Amino acid sequence: MTVRFREKSVIEGFSLRLAPGEKVILTGRSGAGKSTILKCILGFVLPAAGIIRIDGELLVRESVWRLRREMAYVAQEPDLGEGLVQDVLERPFTYRANFHLRGNLKRTTDLFERLLLPVELLDKEISSLSGGEKQRVALISAILLDRRIFLLDEAASALDETSERAIAQFFSSDDQVTVLSVSHNRQVFSDSDRIIELPYRHSEEGE
């Protein structure tokens, strides 16, 4: 896959195959194109050359919306909207596409404990949460939606080492979930299956 911005190559000849359940880290300097790769997988950025397949299905305009429902994207600064944490977690299940998964909300307390969040946060306003708390709430929201593929863009950058390890251990214990994580910190998911370092290509587009 090749990606260009303003005729400058950010990614040139990149190729990657992830097996189901595999945990892979993308690392490299700022501007190497790590976040751009995630945006390509989500269909937000079109490569100048190359193709993307998910479960063998070509990612194209006709399939992108359906394939996105298999994926969860968690950003470094997740936009969780407004309201109580409990309301934010319940909101996706009010939509018809997710209503059949509403029973997963029973896992909320267990997930809070596993990701080292106090259950009392459920009654707090989203705006009062720290950056690290917001990142973990975003992860829990995606987990509750039974996503099979997690695209994490520095999603543990605001956490201390203990909380980082809790997230890494959670994902490593689930062989049904595939994780592609962008991180400058190799230690965050040091027990991942692979760590791939991208070469740096100067670009005005940043990541």
* Alpha-carbon separation of residue 63 from 19, 53, 55, 141 (angstroms): 20, 10, 12, 24
pLDDT band at 189 (very low <50, low <70, confident <90, very high): low
Residue appearing with tokens 């909207």: 81
pLDDT of residue 187: 58
pLDDT of residue 186: 58
pLDDT digits (tens, 9 = 90+) for 110-161: 999 999 999 999 999 999 999 989 999 999 999 999 999 999 998 777 788 8
pLDDT of residue 97: 86
Instruction: Write down the CATH number for the domain with range 3-197.
Output: 3.40.50.300
pLDDT at 33 over 50: yes
Where are the strands (E) in the chain, listed by range?
Answer: 3-5, 8-11, 23-27, 53-54, 57-58, 71-74, 149-153, 178-182, 194-197
Structure tokens belonging to residue 117 = 């969040």
pLDDT at 169 over 60: yes
- Residue boundaries of the structural domains of the chain: 3-197
pLDDT digits (tens, 9 = 90+) for 47-57: 999 999 998 99
